[in-house]
Structure 1
Amino acid sequence: MDNLRLIPTDKIIERLRYENPWWQSRQLPEAYAVMEKRLYFDLFYPFVKDKKIKRAVVLMGPRRVGKTVMLFHAIGELIKEKINPQQLLFVGIDNPIYVHLSLEDILHLCKEALKLQDLKGCYVFFDEIQYLKDWERHLKVLVDSYPDTKFIVSGSAAAALKWHSTESGAGRFTDFMLPPLTFQEYIHLKKMDHLMYEDHIYYGEKQLPYCLSRDVKALNKEFLHYLNFGGYPEVVLSEKIQGDMGRYVKNDIVDKVLLRDLPSLYGIKDVQELNRFFTYIAYNTGNEFSYETMSKESGIQKDTLKKYLEYLEAAFLIKVLNRVDINAKRLKRVTSFKVYLTNPSLRTALFSPMGETDAEMGNMVETAVLSQWMHRDNLDLTYARWKEGRNEGEVDLVLVDDKKFKPQWGVEIKWSNRYFEKPQELKSLLRFCTENKFSSALTTSIDAQGYQNVGGIQLTFLPSSIYTYNIGVITLKMKNV
């Protein structure tokens, strides 16, 4: 404890009391108590409560998606469940006041602040754990040394967290991934659930439970707002931040993640080049790339590009989608691929908000759809592209069964009603269905909804906003199971 001399112990204890107002007030601060919980909270909280398994819970995710708020909501629930508020300890590791302390030192100070004999039955929350060097080693020791204490930590230098918690936390940590806000959660946070009702759609012969909208025009207005601002909970709820989205995201996401957190972990030397590269990708979200064209357009060596892509994907900023052919066979050499932002509103932040008739809308809607699917674990999502004679074909989203290597479905994502009127123009999708003996497929639109039959293939048309909403709904249901 020698290095404590830098800052007097009583100052640190004062800070701990300030961070844990419920020790005195016995309740969660009003600011957090009134905030709407994310729908993911109900999935997360059982891990916090579970004391049978001696594991720390590691809450991971990109910056600004609401991890700290989720920790406070967990504390609020525990207080409601009559856990003694003085057994709930919260520490924001990003505060420089703790910089020379180990987690063990901090725990001793908490005990001192509360005059506790031991930490039996306590819940300890460490926020922004990635600020502590070798955090996973420290945490593993605590899990072993304090078997009757529950540890919950959060962190956002995602690449490092994921990598470290799997490497060294085997058997000691449970990972929980909190993604950017889904469109379903966005509607829930804005208290617009009345726009939706439960019904069903037909997909070929199958009748599927599905949420539809009472007012697609109103839903589309929210959808456009979601594309521009919707990935971050606090942006959704604050018009002030929406007015200065660029600065908010630049300070918090771009500067911290691209320029600070991650380069140091991945040994990336040229931080400005990485930043330029990310901006180039954000502008072209949803486009197909090859290493050749990428290298030519960005002026960056191929090997460096590969490293940047891997790094941005590990940081939850992008998702790379690989290409398959018409039969969903993988190509021997990965020559081309698509890159999507994991959060459509990142693009707005770097450039400017879009209107619904802008040329980029198609790619942004695709980005939104893909960003909902990413919340599903272990899905082999791809896109199909092939050449037949002089003709090229492409299907936007194809799910491949990773055991049989056969496609399970194909979806065409459009921001247009034209194909509802002229379904025979969906040549690639129809060709894909014929080749793979599919009798049905799904296509999105602006607001056209219904069914069309072309040569024995039934096409289900749904507004993109409704489709995006439902991916979120179905994902949460699956995770709850």
Structure 2
Amino acid sequence: MKKVSAEQVIKRLKIENPWWETRKIPTAYLAFKPRSYLELFYPLVQTKKIRRATVLMGPRRVGKTVILHHTIQNLIDSGYDPNKIGYFSVDHPIYNGLGLEELLELFSAATEANYHEDECYIFFDEIQYLKNWENHLKLLVDRQPNLKCTVSGSAAAALKLKSSESGAGRFTDFLLPPLTFHEYLELLDKNNLVIPPSEANGFFKPRNIEKLNESFIHYLNYGGYPEVIFSDIIQSDPGRFIKSDIIDKVLLRDLPGLYGIQDIQELNYLFTTLAFNSSNEVSLEELSKGSGVAKNTIKKYIEYLEAAFLIRTVHRIDRTAKRFKRANFFKVYLTNPSIRSALFSPVTHSDEAIGALSETAIYSQWFHSDTLLHYARWKNGEVDIVHLNKQLKVSWAIEVKWTDRFFTRPHELKSLIQFCHSNNVTGAAVTTMTKSEKVTVENVNFDFIPTSLYCYTVGYNIVKGKQNIREGLTSGAT
């Protein structure tokens, strides 16, 4: 039986690395407008002050391969030699059985770059297809100081697990999440729906709240994945794309392969149940009774789904912001609201599920940060989002509403008022459908803000805030 020759592999490499001749990445990637996260990702890849490999992880179809190619183009535009930049799509069958060092030898043969001595940037896409990749990569970091390696993969749970276990001190993890509402509008060139902050007030304002809400509803249904927002065909049947190409591959292939899950039907049923109840309080007891699956098994499944970046759990505190010793109750949120629409059906402006989906959207913006959030619940009250400071005191709280009713009847926000009084908090935010205003009730200052505008603001501030921190660290290092 004939084996694939080195010459055939090099031919494939030249197809995957057209910039060796053209100084440009493929047109298909140039056509995509870069995500805001590129400004955070590129400095990690480009810098050689820290000897580490970068591990790009995240859910399927969020644009990891695109951001790799945009990074390559940035390197070329910054003056780096294109022949010392190598990209490998490791999932291609032609690379089957080849280790990282063997791939690097072929890279050197194709470009005449000496990766042992020359400064080279190497990108391994879909790295999970290489067995024991984390050990190979660790050796490269240790033995090849001139190499700057970046790897990515769609099996996010596997990458996170192996990166944490084997890459301590050698790998830097970077999470590329689904689109924020800010990025969604930016990619569609709809940022003009929002008026930027002025020096006078420092807050965003809607230019037209009806149109902003219209885009927000579209974001709830289709806005998590770059490929979806540009395709009317996919939007006509989101379940076919998001469910089959994203969710099913995680549930049927990634997680069973990584964790040895035997009963995939159980896992699928649990995820569907949690997706339908996104933003609702659940308990292991309740989930166990409803499914007939042991509580310990459900707990493990939830951990697996979190590792795959499909869901996030949020834990409960009481009226005085105290945590419960036993986490019997908790909330589960989808990491992007459009997952729910793909599994069930798109929502409309007046749909019964719009409130829960709006709350899911707000939480999904915050999931892009390292901010740890809670919700408060006690016998006769609940507050949707609470942030505790390092002293475990309430620093801010938000009540999420998809209605303007409480703008005219703020006294009805009894739970939020009670919570603020109990924790000596002077103010809180309340989201609305269209209204923006400051109102004081019972010595509590309420900031009313449209849900869509709040989502935009959080997404913008998180990414831009990280950029400012990154720039500060970079300037400090130099």
**TM-score tier after normalising by the smaller chain length:** over 0.9
**1:371: how far off?**
0.3
Distance 2:213 2:444 in 1: 28
- Matched residue SS, 2:28: helix
**For residue 108 of structure 1, what is the amino acid of its counterpart?**
E
Q: Does 1:373 align with 2:366?
A: yes
**1:199: how far off?**
3.2
Q: Does 1:410 align with 2:403?
A: no
Distance 1:299 1:189 in 2: 44
Distance 1:346 1:433 in 2: 34
Where does 1:17-166 land on structure 2 (aligned, <5 Å)? 17-118=14-115, 120-166=118-164
Question: Residue 449 of structure 1 corresponds to which residue in structure 2?
Answer: 436
- Matched residue SS, 1:64: coil
Counterpart contact for 2:86–2:122, Cα < 8 Å: yes
Q: Does 1:396 align with 2:384?
A: yes
Distance 2:5 2:296 in 1: 49
Q: Does 1:313 align with 2:297?
A: no
Counterpart contact for 1:327–1:406, Cα < 8 Å: no
Counterpart contact for 2:394–2:425, Cα < 8 Å: no
Distance 1:37 1:305 in 2: 38
Distance 1:464 1:75 in 2: 37
Counterpart contact for 1:323–1:330, Cα < 8 Å: yes
**How much identity, in percent, do the aligned residues show?**
52
- Matched residue SS, 1:199: coil
- Matched residue SS, 1:194: helix
- Matched residue SS, 1:447: coil
- Matched residue SS, 1:352: coil
Question: Residue 190 of structure 1 corresponds to which residue in structure 2?
Answer: 188
- CA-to-aligned-CA distance 1:285-314 (integer Å, 9 cap, x gap): 111001111112222211110001111011
Counterpart contact for 2:197–2:203, Cα < 8 Å: yes
Where does 1:291-310 land on structure 2 (aligned, <5 Å)? 291-310=284-303
- Matched residue SS, 1:453: strand
TM-score (norm 1): 0.94
Distance 1:187 1:428 in 2: 34
**Cα 1:270–1:6 shift into 2, 3 Å:** farther
Q: Does 1:237 align with 2:225?
A: no
Cα RMSD (Å) of the superposition?
1.6
Distance 2:272 2:427 in 1: 38
Question: Residue 204 of structure 1 corresponds to which residue in structure 2?
Answer: none
Distance 2:271 2:328 in 1: 20
- Matched residue SS, 2:330: strand
More moved, 335-344 vs 126-135: 126-135
Q: Does 1:431 align with 2:418?
A: yes
Distance 2:14 2:144 in 1: 22
Distance 1:341 1:6 in 2: 45
Counterpart contact for 2:321–2:423, Cα < 8 Å: no
Distance 1:116 1:50 in 2: 20
**1:200: how far off?**
6.9
Match of 2:376 among 384, 395, 401: 384
Counterpart contact for 2:435–2:448, Cα < 8 Å: yes
**1:96: how far off?**
2.0
**1:68: how far off?**
0.5
- Matched residue SS, 2:251: helix
Distance 1:405 1:138 in 2: 42
Counterpart contact for 1:230–1:236, Cα < 8 Å: yes
Question: Residue 342 of structure 1 corresponds to which residue in structure 2?
Answer: 335
**For residue 133 of structure 1, what is the amino acid of its counterpart?**
K
Counterpart contact for 2:115–2:147, Cα < 8 Å: no
**For residue 377 of structure 2, what is the amino acid of its counterpart?**
R
More moved, 287-296 vs 7-16: 7-16
**1:282: how far off?**
0.8
Question: Residue 476 of structure 1 corresponds to which residue in structure 2?
Answer: 463
**1:116: how far off?**
3.3
**1:155: how far off?**
1.6
Distance 1:437 1:331 in 2: 20
Counterpart contact for 2:158–2:254, Cα < 8 Å: no
**1:478: how far off?**
2.3
**For residue 188 of structure 1, what is the amino acid of its counterpart?**
E
**Cα 1:117–1:450 shift into 2, 3 Å:** closer
Distance 1:327 1:117 in 2: 63
- Matched residue SS, 1:210: coil
Distance 2:201 2:257 in 1: 48
More moved, 109-118 vs 47-56: 109-118
- Matched residue SS, 1:125: strand
Question: Residue 252 of structure 1 corresponds to which residue in structure 2?
Answer: 245
**1:208: how far off?**
6.5
Structure 1 unaligned spans of 5+: 202-206
- Matched residue SS, 2:434: coil
**For residue 342 of structure 2, what is the amino acid of its counterpart?**
A
- CA-to-aligned-CA distance 1:412-461 (integer Å, 9 cap, x gap): 00001111111111110011011111121110011111122211211111
Where does 1:203-242 land on structure 2 (aligned, <5 Å)? 209-242=202-235
**1:5: how far off?**
6.3
Counterpart contact for 1:320–1:340, Cα < 8 Å: yes
Counterpart contact for 1:38–1:189, Cα < 8 Å: yes
